């Protein structure tokens, strides 16, 4: 999840939206959901159940369409035109897509049809400033294996087939794909020692049991040299190569859950700890103007991105899982067994008061029980 620059100010929830639910798609404008969907989001108006004013960033609908929202500074949406209908505020695009379409081709056709207008919002200073620090683009997939990226560049929609199956943040998607060429030396096997023979030099008696350099002892050098920072370009590169090489070198998954386990391991390589990225001065300035009292008391927590949550989805099975920053335990939702009653379920942030909030298991009693047994019993 990469939408934490500003919107960590509120409490996030897992929310269930049934079919025919009234969805806000633009301030003062709502439509009925054609499909039911589950999403992670925040209610603008506090309520025990989802309200019409909801911000959904990550979710899946009952047709297996999946949407993930990623922040993008450079996004520029369409200018609001009074005479046009079908306005959709960029903040509500995820819920609009989930409630309205069943596959990526329907999304592509709708966005490029000209009948809908993804906008910055009303021509009010607040909305125009918010989009400059909270703009987004979207990764969209369906149960048929379709995968696209939707982004807005210079006010125009761009829909790209996502054949590399990775998306992070800025810059725009085509740049990330071409940037993979800069790391073409990374490979799936370990041939470094074979390539190094032509340039090796003798070490004489300097090294124990190694008479030539360079020579790699051990394994893992096939992935030597990818960028290790938390920037979007670095995470894009690491995710792509880790995914491709891991799939190449792993035994073919015997079932979907083995594939899910591998996907979980790949996500671990791009997890962002809180505070590891520097504060964003634009976000800090905007938040302090909007919420001066909050900024005065909690200025130290207004920082840049970190991994508020991760999600895993299987569109073919209408299955969605998530884990939160403080709680590494995965929770999942099986939409085929959901009763689709509208409801919200709070998920934790960093408000942890003990190991229970971290979902840690205390095995001290188990060890104490073992200590009373003989070695033969253990």
pLDDT band at 299 (very low <50, low <70, confident <90, very high): low
The answer to whether the CB of 75 falls within 8 A of the CB of 137 is yes
Closest by CA to 78, choosing from 68, 88, 70, 64, is 88
pLDDT given for residue 7 in this prediction: 45
User: Tokens for 341?
Assistant: 């009653």
pLDDT given for residue 1 in this prediction: 41
Contacts of 213 by beta carbon, 8 Å cutoff, 6+ apart: 200, 201, 203, 207
pLDDT given for residue 65 in this prediction: 98
Contacts of 50 by beta carbon, 8 Å cutoff, 6+ apart: 15, 16, 17, 21, 43, 342, 343, 344
What's the whole-number mean pLDDT along residues 173-183?
96
Residue 147 β-bridge partners: 141
The span from the CA of 231 to the CA of 170, in Å, is 9
What's the whole-number mean pLDDT along residues 283-294?
66
pLDDT band at 6 (very low <50, low <70, confident <90, very high): very low
Look at strands 37-43 and 66-71 and give their pairing.
Answer: unpaired
* Whether residue 303 has pLDDT greater than 70: no
The answer to whether the CB of 134 falls within 8 A of the CB of 71 is yes
| Peptide bond before residue 76 is cis, with ω within 30 degrees of 0 | no
Buried/exposed 257-285: b ≥16 CB within 10 Å, e otherwise: eebbebbeebbeebebebeebeebeebbe
Give pLDDT tens digits for 336-347. 999 999 988 887
* Whether residue 302 has pLDDT greater than 60: no
What's the whole-number mean pLDDT along residues 270-285?
76
- Residue 103 DSSP symbol: S
Give pLDDT tens digits for 330-372. 999 999 999 999 988 887 655 666 777 777 888 888 888 876 6
Give pLDDT tens digits for 54-104. 689 999 999 999 999 998 988 989 876 655 568 898 889 999 999 999 999
Phi, psi angle pair for 151, to nearest 5°: -145, 160
């Amino acid at each position: 999840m990469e939408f934490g620059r500003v919107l960590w100010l509120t409490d996030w929830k897992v929310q269930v939206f049934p079919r025919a639910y009234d969805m806000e798609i633009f301030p003062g404008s709502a439509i009925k959901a054609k499909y039911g969907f589950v999403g992670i989001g925040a209610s603008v108006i506090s309520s025990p159940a989802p309200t019409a004013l909801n911000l959904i960033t990550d979710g899946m609908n009952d047709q297996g369409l999946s949407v993930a929202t990623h922040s993008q500074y450079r996004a520029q949406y369409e200018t609001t035109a009074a005479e046009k209908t079908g306005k959709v505020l960029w903040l509500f695009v995820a819920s609009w897509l989930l409630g309205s379409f069943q596959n990526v081709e329907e999304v592509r056709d709708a966005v490029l049809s000209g009948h809908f207008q993804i906008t910055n919002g009303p021509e009010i200073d607040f909305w125009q400033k918010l989009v400059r620090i909270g703009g987004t683009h979207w990764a969209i997939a369906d149960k048929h294996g379709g995968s696209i990226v939707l982004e807005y560049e210079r006010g125009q929609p761009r829909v790209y087939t996502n054949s590399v199956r990775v998306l992070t943040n800025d810059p725009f998607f085509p740049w990330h794909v071409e940037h993979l060429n800069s790391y073409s030396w990374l490979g799936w096997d370990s041939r470094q020692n074979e390539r190094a023979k032509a340039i090796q030099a003798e070490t004489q008696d300097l090294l124990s049991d190694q008479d030539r350099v360079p020579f790699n002892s051990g394994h893992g050098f096939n992935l030597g040299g990818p960028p290790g920072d938390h920037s979007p370009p670095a995470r894009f590169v690491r995710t792509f190569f880790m995914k491709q090489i891991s799939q190449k070198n792993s035994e073919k998954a015997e079932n979907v859950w083995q594939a899910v386990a591998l996907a979980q391991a790949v996500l671990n390589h791009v997890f962002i700890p809180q505070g590891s990225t520097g504060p964003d001065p634009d976000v800090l300035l905007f938040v302090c103007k909007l919420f001066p009292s909050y900024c005065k008391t909690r200025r130290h927590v207004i920082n840049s991105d970190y991994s508020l949550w991760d999600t895993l989805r299987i569109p073919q099975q209408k299955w969605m899982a998530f884990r939160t920053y403080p709680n590494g335990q995965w929770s999942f939702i099986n939409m085929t067994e959901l009763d689709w009653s509208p409801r919200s379920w709070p998920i934790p942030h960093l408000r942890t008061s003990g190991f229970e909030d971290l979902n840690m298991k205390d095995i001290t009693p188990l060890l104490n029980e073992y200590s009373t047994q003989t070695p033969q019993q253990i």
